[in-house]
Structure 1
Amino acid sequence: MALALLLAAAPAHAQTQAPPPAASAPDFARLEAAQSAANDKPGPRTVPGRRIPVPGTVSPELQAAIAAPYRSPAWNADPAGPAEWKALVGRLAAQTAASLPALRERLGVVATPEVIGGVRAWIIAPREVPERNRNRLLVHIHGGGYVYNPGEAGTLEAVLMAAFGKFTVISFDYRMPPDAPYPAAMDDAMAVWKAALTLQRPENMAVFGTSTGGGMTLALMLRARQEGVSLPAAIAPGTPWSDLTETGDSYKANEWLDNVLVSYDGYLNRAAALYAAGRDLKDPQLSPIYGDLRGLPPTILTTGTRDLFLSNTVRTHRKLRQAGVEASLQVFEGMSHAQYLFDPDAPETREVFGEIAAFLDKHLGTERAPQ
């Protein structure tokens, strides 16, 4: 998810589109006949051209996000080479990072730079941590399609979690392509997780992240389990990029409807190729949906009805359930990919983080780590 540009370009207000006029009876009769003829044999579904209104069932803030146009070049970026990639990524990251001090101030959150496990990181925390959360610690893995949101720009979701969930969060700056393809990002995630285990009990900790961060959260669980490293008490992968191949119904059903990712044939396929660097995209460390999910921690997943990754999320939920893992799925009306990160004042944003915080509170312990 090209969150840096999405946030920088998102308008404060946007007019919602009026619904199309209702079809007359003769028009519908002609459409019905044409569609029946087009779908009279088994096979792919043919649908007519559609104009889909902004739903009136969501808040005005979310309606504005839904009504916004595609954000180019976020969804269709195609830099010619490494230098152009780095220039684009750097420009967008600077825009996002510039907005964060004011957001932290408004939400009562403090960010402290650190180095954790040899990786640059930030400790993000509310000014007042509730007693119940003082012995709890979350690790955040940022999104951005494995190419976007380096540095402080990647801490936005951690700021929202600290503000609305009242947890202390580690957010870290993992290495990314084009300079550092797989396994650099996962090596950094593992180093941070091992270091975090020296700071707090695993039963008092959770790992979370959105999009790429959600996929990496799942991959980190598989790697930690394989290496015999303790797992956290719970995880929260938001709309996870759990399958780097274009597999899943919503890749086509929500194509051109999701106004964030829009189409897998935009930048996503190029970002996947950059990250994988020739490896099989179905390797479970790249696409954890293909891994053995038995024994993973209780999981809460979040998506929206217009999300291009809706299928990634529901397929992950079903596979977790089939593996005997406690898994909760929340699907929000009208949301495109990760739109719960766009407006901290939207009721849906607060609801998403409230649901995640309640799930984590149910599963995380509170006892002090041994000295």
Structure 2
Amino acid sequence: MLWILLAIVLLIIAVTLMVFRLEDLSHLDREEYRVRDGSPSDANTEVLGRIRELGESSRGLKGKARLMALRRHMDRLSEGLALSSVFRYNETPRGEWVIAPGADTRRRVLYIHGGAWAAGSPRSHRAVTDRFSHIANAAVFAVDYRLMPEHRYMDGVRDCRKAYAWLLENGPGGPEHADFMVVAGDSAGGSHTLGLLAWIRSSGLRQADAAVAFSPSTDLTLTAPSNRNNISTDPLLGPVFGGLSKIPLPIIWWATFAAFRVSPASAVASPLRGDLRNLPPTLIQASDSEMLLDNARRYAAKAQAEGSPVELHTWPGMVHVWQIFVPLLPEAEEAFQDIKSFLEKVESTSKEEQAVQT
């Protein structure tokens, strides 16, 4: 009997290694990245209180009831804020236009919200999309992509792809060619953002002029050190996903494969594990205390090594996707000013290159 059990275990290990074929990316952890000076502002205390409220909104609930409570709470995140943009529903593709006063509608941002691919919406991220429209002087389209578990993971991926292709030739007023395109997203939406850039390159569509990712998930295999090392310092993701550290990784990989219906080692689910050559200028913002820190670090290191202009800017002690707490949090304001400077630099460099070519 013991030999039979041993044979079964060895067979499972062999099949796991054959199916997932994981490349060891630990060499990417050698890169050193500067963390901004300073410590969290006083407003961070209120933010932590809101994080606790988010957890309490679904306490005691299970399954679908828990998910619905989380979705409702997230949709209330932007309530009560004085937002000056116009918010306009769009049927096909489904989403929401966000247009700041005087914004140039030939300049566009495709925004892909986070929420672990199962929660979040254009409404939950209005604080972000409103500010993005202002700093980029652009019309923002927040795509309302299909969520799990009602839909497959790839349904959401396809929705983002279709939205980008449509946005190249359509503005809030109808058919109109885009002069400047940005793709942006946070967390799970940051994963979709980075995966989308590779798909655009490979599909032959006009590439985005720039991209921005807040605390992106880049590797669903959960092999990056911070996935475990930062559990205690991440007040948002730690309580929700910290328990995964007690589960053997092969079991997590098979569970992810069953839930997502794609391999966690595939480039579509883990952009870090894809081809990162010939990508547009990309800015990644992350916190040094969050679980996804090394997802961002590894992606930046690999993209830079493959010749793509990716920058990683790191804040100390911030919660996961702290940018959503603008204008309450001074560090969120700093983050958007950082994005504005990045986009201005991208445009300036592009104009200089065009001048040289002509």
Letter in 2 for 1:94: R
2:236 alignment partner in structure 1:
260
Stretch of structure 1 that moved more, 314-323 or 93-102: 93-102
Compared with structure 1, are the counterparts of its residues 267 and 350 closer, same or farther at alpha carbon in structure 2 (3 Å cutoff)? farther
Q: Which residue of 2 aligns with 1:128?
A: 102
> Equivalent of 2:332, from 340, 344, 349?
349
For 1:228 and 1:343, the matched residues in 2 are separated by 36
1:157 Cα deviation (Å)?
2.4
Q: Which structure is higher in helix share?
A: 2
Q: Does 1:65 align with 2:47?
A: yes
Structure 1, gaps ≥5 residues long: 1-54
Where in structure 2 are the equivalents of 1:87-106 lying within 5 Å?
Answer: 87-98=65-76, 100=78, 102-103=80-81, 106=82
How far apart in 1 are the matches of 2:56 and 2:300?
A: 28
Q: Look up the SS of the partner of 2:237 in the other structure.
A: coil
| Distance (whole Å) between structure 2 residues aligned to residue 74 and residue 267 of structure 1 | 20
State whether residues 94 and 144 of structure 2, in contact with CA within 8 Å, keep that contact through their aligned partners in structure 1: yes
**CA 257–225 in structure 1, closer or farther in 2 if over 3 Å, else same:** same
- Tell me the alpha carbon deviations over residues 110-165 of structure 1, each in whole angstroms, 9 at most, x when there is no partner: 211112xx331111121232xxx553111000000000114533544212322454
Counterpart secondary structure, 1:107: coil
Give the AA of the match of 1:57: S
**Structure 1 CA distance, aligned partners of 2:43 and 2:134?**
19
Following superposition, the deviation at residue 62 of structure 1 comes to 2.4
Provide, for residues 71-119 of structure 1, a one-character-per-residue CA deviation record: whole Å limited to 9, x for no partner. 6648998976xxx33x33333333443453532xx1312211112xx33
Q: Residue in 2 aligned with 1:329? A: 312
TM-superposed CA distance for 1:265, in Å, is 4.0
User: What is the count of residue pairs matched by the alignment?
Assistant: 301
Identity percentage of aligned residues: 25
Change (3 A) 1:349 1:154: closer
Asked if structure 2 preserves the Cα contact closer than 8 Å seen for 1:205 and 1:364, the reply is no
Q: Which moved more, 1:209-218 or 1:146-155?
A: 146-155
Map 1:1-371 → 2, pairs under 5 A: 57-65=39-47, 73=55, 84-85=63-64, 87-98=65-76, 100=78, 102-103=80-81, 106-115=82-91, 118-129=92-103, 133-150=104-121, 152-199=123-170, 204-262=180-238, 264-266=241-243, 273=256, 276-364=259-347
The 3-state SS of whatever aligns with 2:328 is coil
Measured against aligned partners, the alpha-carbon deviations of 1:200-247 in whole angstroms (never above 9, x if no partner) come to 656611100110111100111122222222210010011110111111
For 1:98 and 1:68, how far apart are their aligned partners in 2? Answer: 11
What letter corresponds to residue 128 of structure 1 in structure 2? Answer: G
**Alpha-carbon distance change, 60 to 154 in structure 1, aligned in 2, over 3 angstroms:** closer
- Describe the superposition over 1:35-78 as per-residue Cα deviations: whole angstroms up to 9, x where unpaired: xxxxxxxxxxxxxxxxxxxx973321124435777566489989
Gaps of 5+ in 2: 1-36, 171-175, 246-251, 352-358
CA deviations over 1:15-44 (Å, ceiling 9, x no partner): xxxxxxxxxxxxxxxxxxxxxxxxxxxxxx
Task: Tell me how far apart the structure 2 counterparts of residues 183 and 78 of structure 1 sit (CA, whole Å).
Answer: 31
Q: 1:99 to 1:265 in 2, by over 3 A?
A: closer
The alignment partner of 1:237 has SS state of strand
The one-letter amino acid paired with 2:268 is Q
